Chain A
């Protein structure tokens, strides 16, 4: 009945198709969505019109057209913002499809113009029958669900890294600076998966002081320093090419990585540890000070991993789920105080007290998250 692996493959091919299509490819709104027909989503900067708010259980395809001026994302969430399906990086004028398998229940759709925040939400009711899953099936489902997430994130990572590295090679410093935190967002959301490949993570994400004597410093932060401090990327063609190649490799490898539910749980904790040690202190993006983009991405990635496990957690420790929901909400709202336009304030614009409040919120969340692994392993 449930075939998430096939779905992941479908999402890939459809996203590729969407990426090539022009603005005219969106299905007309109101098209009947029975069986294989697509459900049109008309996204603007302020609206997220989903053609249907009620669906039969099973597989559905949403076709998301961005009629706005900002890059957007589309999500289907189950309770607690568990990602059931998503499509990233829909630039203005583009249509992209996402295939989602939904058992009966209540869901939410969301467009995220500017790719941040809670997004523009709408209810989605799915009717029909769905058999309750066994505990083992729920765990397998959690892993499959998270792998879908990794897949969509890594696709967007490829796209945005390409744009970023091309801007660097073209010597377009302003554009590269604009793209730097955006490309990193996709990286930071799934970094624990990438870290499974020991050699590539440093090549992509090392800070200057991480590099051993005699080794070349490459990756995002090398370009960051050249963009913000040296203000010269003329000699960075090779560095940009290597970053693109390394990201390509890691994306390919991560598609094949075997994940366990405990690894998901530890990944969720690992992302918050990243926030606590690197982002709060401003060490991660020490030249651009765009640490809050990474912070937000880490938080989202952590939430995606935890929420993938949600059905298992609800069965085994409903109190923990309540705590996690409350603490995620607290951390998100603490961070939301520092929005600036579609992005974030710079790290060096925050006062010590503001950073402490963020640190408190992360600590409050990380403690209950550290308990998830043992609940999953029961």
Chain B
């Protein structure tokens, strides 16, 4: 277990323990218990094998390439073959190797290379590949209907969303995260290629500038609205909370998901130009936080707990009733929490001269029915931020537990 823990990681966590006021004790204890290994430096590999999939509590890398596939083969055996091929390729690529055994330049000159080559010479860059299975995979095609976890219940419609079906859903998703965008793109490109004829890419999304920290060793980043995002996120060090809020436990649902987790994705377009014209005070009132420090409007430091009861001289709550921090806070949802792992996105401009940009929201959780759904219901009804955002895509996936060794593969227990 200690092999995945480097000196640099120890140092990082120690420093974080100081910064994470109020949670230091939890962090220190959890460190010994949670053997989720992660990259020591941004270029090092992250172990692929383990009880949980990497790429969830792994400290969020800087870059994302997310892809959703439709399965087009009608044969279950072909799908299982593909999952095995993918797992082998993923195990190689996350360790900085080529996708196939011959590699980009080692094969026969007449044959197309079994790796596309654009990652040659690049370090592993903390690449993680994380797979999830969407509700549509559990239809009649592969006889999986009785294995669909109850927690993988279709999300309800939320007020104000304008979902585009062509960039929503999917039978299978793969999240590639890395500290080098070329490494993330390379991984998805090679998986898509291996999948030709069996799966078809439904949509994919590039992201940059992680918008959440998933470890106390990381500073809280900013979203494209300029605010610190994910201050109160579930983090790698919060072992007890991860157990309660992140990982599916025996008895939660079908046993193939034990040790897995559920992913909700939402592409949230931001109306950047109108937001930029909003006065600073309005922006801060909408989030309920100070734009500079990230502190709640009732406090001074980023990690100060917000005081939702505190009233200003005018007798109104300092943090308004419609503020994002109030509505999204665990206190408003019986303690429900998410492990958020979203990324900023910019898909160029939209033809009207506006930045086509926003947040590709991704959140991992133990049961979306008790976590994402109630939180989003509240937000979609009341959040002052809604004036500046629009949800344009939605995805829901059951992410199985980790691949334990080279004899195992993604989803083995599901198809067993």
Cβ of B193 < 8 Å from any Cβ of A? yes
B200 touches which one: A360, A365, A367, A376 (CB < 8 A)? A360
A367/B108 in contact, CB under 8 A: no
B197/A327 in contact, CB under 8 A: yes
A371 touches which one: B111, B193, B196 (CB < 8 A)? B111
- Contact partners of B193 in chain A: CB under 8 A: 367
Max count, chain A CB within 10 A of own CB: residue among B110, B193, B196, B197: B197
**Bound-state Cα–Cα, A262 to B200, Å:** 29
B200/A374 in contact, CB under 8 A: no
B196/A363 in contact, CB under 8 A: yes
A367/B111 in contact, CB under 8 A: no
B110/A373 in contact, CB under 8 A: yes
B197/A374 in contact, CB under 8 A: no
Q: Tell me the minimal C-beta distance from B103 to chain A in angstroms.
A: 15
Max count, chain B CB within 10 A of own CB: residue among A265, A352, A374, A376: A374
**Bound-state Cα–Cα, A373 to B108, Å:** 10
Q: Tell me the minimal C-beta distance from A330 to chain B in angstroms.
A: 8
Instruction: Mark each residue of chain A from 336 to 378: 1 if its CB lies under 8 Å from any CB of chain B, else 0.
Output: 0000000000000000100010001001111110110110110
**Bound-state Cα–Cα, A367 to B198, Å:** 11
Cβ of B313 < 8 Å from any Cβ of A? no
Which B68-109 residues have a C-beta within 8 angstroms of A? 72, 107-109
Q: A367-B193, A367-B196, A367-B197 are in contact. Are A360 and B72 (CB under 8 A)?
A: yes
Minimum CB distance partner of A262 in chain B: B110
Q: Tell me the minimal C-beta distance from B57 to chain A in angstroms.
A: 35
Q: Tell me the minimal C-beta distance from A66 to chain B in angstroms.
A: 38
A376 touches which one: B107, B110, B112 (CB < 8 A)? B110
Total chain A interface residues with beta-carbon distance under 8 A? 19
Total chain B interface residues with beta-carbon distance under 8 A? 13
A363/B112 in contact, CB under 8 A: no
B111/A373 in contact, CB under 8 A: yes
- Contact partners of A377 in chain B: CB under 8 A: 108-110
- Contact partners of B198 in chain A: CB under 8 A: 364
B111/A365 in contact, CB under 8 A: no
Max count, chain B CB within 10 A of own CB: residue among A352, A363, A368: A363
A374/B196 in contact, CB under 8 A: no
Minimum CB distance partner of B108 in chain A: A374
Q: Tell me the minimal C-beta distance from B206 to chain A in angstroms.
A: 20
- Contact partners of A262 in chain B: CB under 8 A: 110
- Contact partners of B110 in chain A: CB under 8 A: 262, 265, 373-374, 376-377
**Bound-state Cα–Cα, A338 to B166, Å:** 22
- Contact partners of A364 in chain B: CB under 8 A: 72, 196-198
**Bound-state Cα–Cα, A365 to B108, Å:** 21
A374/B72 in contact, CB under 8 A: no
Instruction: Mark each residue of chain B from 201 to 237: 1 if its CB lies under 8 Å from any CB of chain A, else 0.
Output: 0000000000000000000000000000000000000
B112 touches which one: A327, A330, A352, A370 (CB < 8 A)? A370
Q: A262-B110, A377-B108 are in contact. Are A356 and B200 (CB under 8 A)?
A: yes
Instruction: Mark each residue of chain A from 241 to 280: 1 if its CB lies under 8 Å from any CB of chain B, else 0.
Output: 0000000000000000000001001000000000000000
**Bound-state Cα–Cα, A231 to B108, Å:** 51
Max count, chain A CB within 10 A of own CB: residue among B72, B110, B111, B166: B110
**Bound-state Cα–Cα, A374 to B72, Å:** 27
**Bound-state Cα–Cα, A366 to B193, Å:** 11
**Bound-state Cα–Cα, A265 to B109, Å:** 14
Q: Tell me the minimal C-beta distance from B100 to chain A in angstroms.
A: 12
- Contact partners of A373 in chain B: CB under 8 A: 110-111
Max count, chain A CB within 10 A of own CB: residue among B109, B112, B196: B196
Q: Tell me the minimal C-beta distance from A271 to chain B in angstroms.
A: 16
- Contact partners of B107 in chain A: CB under 8 A: 374
> Can you show 21 pairs from A to B with CB atoms below 8 A apart?
A265-B110, A327-B197, A330-B197, A352-B166, A356-B200, A360-B196, A360-B197, A360-B200, A363-B197, A364-B72, A364-B197, A366-B196, A367-B193, A370-B111, A371-B111, A373-B110, A373-B111, A374-B107, A374-B110, A377-B108, A377-B109
Chain B residues packing against A (C-beta within 8 Å)? 72, 107-112, 166, 193, 196-198, 200
Which 7 residue pairs of A and B lie closest in terms of their CB atoms, listed nearest first?
A364-B197, A374-B111, A377-B110, A374-B110, A363-B196, A360-B200, A373-B110
Q: A265-B110, A363-B197, A364-B196 are in contact. List 18 more A-B contacts (CB 8 A).
A: A327-B197, A330-B197, A356-B200, A360-B196, A360-B197, A363-B200, A364-B197, A364-B198, A366-B196, A367-B193, A371-B112, A373-B110, A373-B111, A374-B107, A374-B108, A374-B110, A376-B110, A377-B108
